[in-house]
Structure 1
Amino acid sequence: MDPTTSSTYVYGRSATEDHLEDWDLLPSVSAGAPRQEASSKDQEAEERSKFKSRLVSAWNSVKYGWSLKQKSKFNKSSPLIMLGKNYNLNNDGEKESFRSAFASFLWLTYRRGFRPLPGSSLTTDSGWGCVLRTGQMLLAQGLLVHLMPPGWTWAVKCCAVKDDLDLLHPADNAECEWAREEGGNKRGRKLSVGSLLDRPKLAKHRMVVSWFAEHPAAPFGIHKLVELGKSSGKKAGDWYGPSIVAHILKKAVAASVDLPNLVVYVAQDCTVYLQDVRGLCERPPPHCWKSVIVLVPVRLGGQELNPSYISCVKKLLKLQCCIGIIGGKPKHSLFFVGFQDDHLLYLDPHYCQPTVNIKKDNFALESFHCKYPRKMAFSRMDPSCTIGFYAEGQDEFESMCAAVNEAVSTSAETYPMFIFSDEKRWDGEEEGIPRTNSITYLQRDNVLDNEDGNSMDEFVLI
């Protein structure tokens, strides 16, 4: 397919229009090099380099499916479950609540045109960084739950209602409150009391978005994650498994000065060691317990998802303490946030967008939120996953353990997806490397520049 002639639609406008607008802003592949006076031939070479980079980005967008605007149809007679909440789509109010809640997730996709990544000349993660992006989305959801008030949503109700759950692009509705938040040219508009009260929440939301920006200083941006991945033997352009990404996220949160009251715990050997979690969270009075994000890497079968685990996955997504699952389907990783019947609801990072300059006042937030719910059959899910949970305090953590343990221990036909243990993990064990005398550990060589691997590395097979 020639991306420059496609007439398909993306987010309410043609894919051709989108690419042409984005390409005008794309820097050359040699971004960051000292500027020199260029001759006519040098300028032509630079233009060819730019065009090549644009074409590669466009092809990746086509290859990974985001050049086509795919609408998912939902069954109005069946409840839709999304991270612990049920939505009856026959009810207009609940349908709007679902729209707003889904569009409030941070959608972190491939980007292009940023500064070269550490140790490389890459200025895009298109084609190899999808697991890092889904890991960012999982962490972002935990941060939103941690920092924002209960029930917070960013995408407030739009005026129009569409039966196919196709959420509005701001340009479709001039009176949309979503557009009003973005509209910096409407400063003369009188603000309601509600708008004034929402300002601190909007500022905090924008702050969280900036933490994931494509900038070396962003604590959870692609540059920082690639840098932290070096200790695990990974570099820019490598394929990152969900388990390694979980450990990278833990290191990123530990290194951040902005989140002193939050820790990340990564389960080992499909086991949550409760003494280790308590050791991370407990601290002297008056603040006796830190909030915790618990990440559990698992592999739910061999080459395909074991059908007996589907009911367990559904039960986990019904829990309010669950903040999502990263895993996806063969060839690329997705961020799962809910389900309806036998289909998973997800956000897809496989759409290459231009980098947003977060240093600019009131930088645009639209590209960080997905307005189109998408779904896929459970049978297509890749068995390699990392499941995330959040607990605000000690009581919430104990309740989380009880609820999650009940959800994963429901089938006598299979081993539990993972377990909780009151024991302390062996102190002499290096983090991230399971005990060789416990359960089977699968390892493969690193896969460079490849997102088509079946992700059997770094997982315990259960």
Structure 2
Amino acid sequence: MNPSSSSVSLEGQPPDDELTEDWHFLTAEFNGTQQLEESREDEDAEEVEDRGRLRSKLVSAWNSVKYGWSLKQKSKFSRSSPVIMLGKSYELKDQGDREHFRRSFTTLLWLTYRRGFPPLSGGSLTTDSGWGCVLRTGQMLLAQGLLLHLMPPGWTWCASQRVSKDDSDLQVSSTGRGLYLKEEEEKKSRRHSLDSNLNRPMEATHRRVVTWFLDRPAAPFGIHMLVELGKSSGKKAGDWYGPSIAAHILRKAVAASADVPNLVVYVAQDCTIYLEDVKRLCERPPPQCWKSVIVLVPVRLGGQDLNPSYITCVKRLLTLQSCIGIIGGKPKHSLFFVGFQDDHLLHLDPHYCRPTVDTTKQNFPLESFHCKYPRKMSFSRMDPSCTIGFYAKGQKDFEAMCSAVNEVLTTSAEMYPMFIFVDGASQEEEESCRTSSNDITYIQRNAEHRHVVTSNSMDEFVLL
């Protein structure tokens, strides 16, 4: 995302400073002095590999056309209005707040299209360009929950490399003219060096979290694992994944991973969070101990367009510290929303195709996993089909989250609430409990909610 006012880039393209030759994926070194004698079998294998690579490129190009692209332009931020991002407010007219916002935004993990990774299961695709944006935004939503789960409050990431004086981390406009915020190189260098020493243990954890999302079959939350888990929903590599299906894939991925045993994911059913279901999922011995939980709520906020009555509600949800973001965007053009300023949503865009990072290096570069340039999009352009995420560290945090979210839902929307909380368990859970061999007593649902009939929550959305 080049900040230059004279440059734009197409979706599916990396920023100008990261452009590489799209047609070369091999990184193996070739010694020109060495004579290689290849057999006919090796030549045939190479020809088959080339055909598969060409097919992957053509499929990627077709998906880019099929799902659309648009011109990328810079975003301007006003100094007269605060920026709200994941429960925190930043006054951009204040230099300290500007720096705090810049560092907080840069800390968010930015997961984009990649190319040149090992072929995905069931085909020869080596890129998710054009079709994997919902999975990428789902990864970013989960990554934010993991950072809150594993890092101390207030932790921010700082690049080890010095930032070029030509880079502009934030563009602020007060009278229509752009004002680029720049800092003294010497101060920034000293701060980066100090932060690197102080945050060394946290940086190791940060790097480990990044590896969980790498584009390789063994990564617990990588594109290979998510595509594999999506097969049970009838999806395969190259298909369009809706926000609801992405939520269930993330739930399965966390449940199948041994890397975060004290974290679970709960997906709301038909815009309903069943508190007893969450309790069963989070409880661990002794009973007063709870696992941390990420709550994902798939919703559809209107018909073809976002219902205006829900805009205020979306804004207020993003002001909650328990909110970890929203998977949404434009139709078949998913973005990861993390905040807003006035009538514009702040987001991370996965539609930049970068080469796969070589993870064989001990200190592989992390810069491509963090975005320096925040972008905005009007609320009016938001696709009403989305998934909202929340995180609670423990039982008290979950109860506080429910109270805060419920207050927003009951006071913000003029129409029916975006989603609701229900004491008791869903019908599906009750039926599974009756057939379970475990000798456990469960709380039944309240009588006033017995009329609720849950349908297949794997549908793309639930219309309110």
Provide TM-score, normalisation by structure 1.
Answer: 0.80
Please say if residues 343 and 378 of structure 2, whose CA atoms lie closer than 8 Å, have aligned partners that are also in contact.
yes
Match of 1:137 in 2: 140
Match of 1:460 in 2: 462
Matched, 1:371 2:372: yes
Give the AA of the match of 2:136.
R
Give the AA of the match of 2:301.
L
After superposition, the Cα gap between the structure-2 partners of 1:283 and 1:15, relative to the gap in structure 1 and judged at 3 Å, is: closer
After superposition, the Cα gap between the structure-2 partners of 1:460 and 1:55, relative to the gap in structure 1 and judged at 3 Å, is: closer
Match of 2:81 among 78, 82, 106: 78
Match of 1:164 among 171, 180, 188: 171
CA-to-aligned-CA distance 1:9-49 (integer Å, 9 cap, x gap) = 69xx9967744445433589xxxxxx965899997997787
Match of 1:418 in 2: 419
Distance in 2, Cα, partners of 1:175 & 1:60: 45
Matched, 1:24 2:24: yes
Q: Show the 5 A alignment for 1:117-132.
A: 117-132=120-135
CA-to-aligned-CA distance 1:406-452 (integer Å, 9 cap, x gap) = 11111463000000011211136689xxx9x74797999xxxxxxxx
Please say if residues 409 and 416 of structure 1, whose CA atoms lie closer than 8 Å, have aligned partners that are also in contact.
yes
Match of 1:327 in 2: 328
Match of 1:451 in 2: none
Give the AA of the match of 1:257.
A
Q: Classify the secondary structure of the residue corresponding to 2:273.
A: strand
Give the AA of the match of 2:25.
L
Kindly state the Cα deviation for residue 176 of structure 1 after the two structures are TM-superposed.
8.6
Please say if residues 299 and 419 of structure 2, whose CA atoms lie closer than 8 Å, have aligned partners that are also in contact.
yes
Match of 2:249 in 1: 248
Please say if residues 26 and 54 of structure 1, whose CA atoms lie closer than 8 Å, have aligned partners that are also in contact.
no
- Across the aligned residues of Structure 1 and Structure 2, the Cα RMSD in angstroms comes to 3.9
Q: Show the 5 A alignment for 1:5-404.
A: 18-21=18-21, 23-26=23-26, 65=69, 70-155=73-158, 164=171, 194-285=195-286, 288-404=289-405
Match of 1:452 in 2: none
After superposition, the Cα gap between the structure-2 partners of 1:26 and 1:393, relative to the gap in structure 1 and judged at 3 Å, is: same
Distance in 2, Cα, partners of 1:384 & 1:9: 26
Match of 2:33 in 1: none
Distance in 1, Cα, partners of 2:68 & 2:187: 30
Kindly state the Cα deviation for residue 269 of structure 1 after the two structures are TM-superposed.
1.3
Please say if residues 441 and 460 of structure 1, whose CA atoms lie closer than 8 Å, have aligned partners that are also in contact.
no
Distance in 1, Cα, partners of 2:185 & 2:92: 25
Distance in 2, Cα, partners of 1:430 & 1:458: 24
Q: Structure 1: which 5+ runs fail to align?
A: 1-5, 29-34, 182-190, 445-456
Give the AA of the match of 1:391.
A
Distance in 1, Cα, partners of 2:275 & 2:386: 21
Distance in 2, Cα, partners of 1:177 & 1:59: 43
Kindly state the Cα deviation for residue 119 of structure 1 after the two structures are TM-superposed.
1.4
| Percent sequence identity over aligned pairs | 67
Determine which structure has more spread, i.e. the larger CA radius of gyration: 2
Q: Structure 2: which 5+ runs fail to align?
A: 1-5, 29-37, 173-177, 434-448
Distance in 1, Cα, partners of 2:95 & 2:404: 31
Please say if residues 7 and 15 of structure 1, whose CA atoms lie closer than 8 Å, have aligned partners that are also in contact.
no
CA-to-aligned-CA distance 1:143-201 (integer Å, 9 cap, x gap) = 00100111111136969666615999xxx9976968998xxxxxxxxx75x53331111
Q: Classify the secondary structure of the residue corresponding to 1:328.
A: strand
Q: Classify the secondary structure of the residue corresponding to 1:400.
A: helix
Distance in 2, Cα, partners of 1:217 & 1:70: 36
After superposition, the Cα gap between the structure-2 partners of 1:176 and 1:106, relative to the gap in structure 1 and judged at 3 Å, is: farther
Q: Classify the secondary structure of the residue corresponding to 1:293.
A: strand
Please say if residues 26 and 50 of structure 1, whose CA atoms lie closer than 8 Å, have aligned partners that are also in contact.
no
Please say if residues 442 and 461 of structure 1, whose CA atoms lie closer than 8 Å, have aligned partners that are also in contact.
no
Match of 1:454 in 2: none
After superposition, the Cα gap between the structure-2 partners of 1:430 and 1:139, relative to the gap in structure 1 and judged at 3 Å, is: farther
Q: Classify the secondary structure of the residue corresponding to 2:75.
A: coil
Give the AA of the match of 1:25.
F
Q: Classify the secondary structure of the residue corresponding to 1:203.
A: helix
